[in-house]
Amino acid sequence: MKIGILTYIYAVNHGSILQAKAVEGVMRSVYPSADIRFINYAPHRGLYKEIKNNLINRRFISGTMVLNKFRKVISNEMKFWGDLKVTDNYQEASEYIEELGLDLICIGSDTVFESRPNKLGYAPFPPNIYFGNSTINSKFISISASADRSFKKCWSTDALETVKKNLAAFDYISVRDRFTGEFLSDAFDIPIDSITMLPDPTFSFESPEVFKRRGYVVLDVSSRLLSKRVYNHFHEKGLTVISPMANRYSDSNLRGRIDPYQWASLYANSYCNVTNRFHGTVFSIKGGADFVAVDESPEYALGAK
């Protein structure tokens, strides 16, 4: 049996890589004798955005280090079907995947069912290949997929009808959050009782014990005001404040210095975490660390509900 996993492989995001590996682990536990590989696809929109954000800024050196860390993990630990295909064209992506001749295509996890404005989104506007294609001769399922922070107003009438037909052809749909289940049911007339709520697969992922002491606090938020308050609060308690990315209010910035596995370990073994990362919250829970989860999504400032 040939199984392909289609997700955000080339998103420069620690959680995306860990999700992809966790989905692979889940699929191997269910289909131990199958040939399971990742589908080597990246949307041009998302890939360009990731490279631009890391290289065209004042932190060029650490941005280069970030990209190199991700390149090593992807090239060393992920087996792929086919050569890399980069396109935003729905038809081109569909033809590329159909030629792989896969028995089963597993989509997710991550926010693969998203629809967001140009400057915010990673995937092309729907219809895109992350919603499947009913004309491809493969079975489709989704694993803990999310439409987190999607805007309904981004969808055209034609896109709605195409995605509705494609999702109706899925053999199994599972989502990681209630919002996504209700979103799919409302927008695409999918019976809500046919959508399964499934925990994010990274809850099953064991991080290595790279960071073993709990005398530090992880600070991973964008707000400068909140960062300053967190930094001052924990400094008064004699704790070291570490930022996995770049934050002026920290004792140590690890941007470009840690890979996704080390990132997970950083969260899991800390004294406390203040984060705007979904997977930062996941690994806080898994490691038994106290945490404060802050949602700084720009959609809330724009009045999205």
17: pLDDT strictly greater than 80: yes
Percent of the chain with pLDDT over 90: 78
Task: Provide the pLDDT for residue 213.
Answer: 74
- At 56, is the pLDDT very low, low, confident or very high (cuts 50, 70, 90)? confident
Task: Provide the pLDDT for residue 298.
Answer: 65
Contact residues for 261 (Cβ-Cβ < 8 A; gap 6+): 18, 73, 207, 208, 210
Residue 6: strand pairing partners: 107
Q: Using an 8 Å Cβ cutoff, are 105 and 4 in contact? A: yes
Burial 34-55 (b: 16+ CB within 10 A, else e): eebbbbbbbbebbbebbeeebe
Task: Provide the pLDDT for residue 157.
Answer: 83
Residue type (1 letter), 229: R
Task: Provide the pLDDT for residue 305.
Answer: 46
109-160 per-position pLDDT tens digit: 999 998 876 667 789 888 999 999 999 999 999 999 999 877 666 777 888 8
Token representation of residue 65:
């280090």
165: pLDDT strictly greater than 90: yes
Task: Provide the pLDDT for residue 304.
Answer: 47
**DSSP string of the chain, one letter each residue:** -EEEEES-TT-S-HHHHHHHHHHHHHHHHH-TTSEEEEEEEE-HHHHHHHHHHHHSSTTHHHHHHHHHHHHHHHHHH--EEEEEEE---HHHHHHHHHTT--SEEEE-SSSTT----TTT-SSPSSS-GGG--TTSSSEEEEEEE--TT--GGG--HHHHHHHHHHHHT-SEEEESSHHHHHHHHHHH---GGGEEE---GGGGPPPP-S----SEEEEE-S-HHHHHHHHHHHHHTT-EEEESS--SSSSEE-TTT--HHHHHHHHHTSSEEEES-HHHHHHHHHHT-EEEE----HHHHTT--
Q: Give the pTM.
A: 0.92
Q: Using an 8 Å Cβ cutoff, are 272 and 230 in contact? A: no
200-231 per-position pLDDT tens digit: 999 998 888 888 778 899 999 999 999 999 99
242-298 per-position pLDDT tens digit: 999 889 999 999 999 999 999 999 999 999 999 999 999 999 999 999 999 998 776
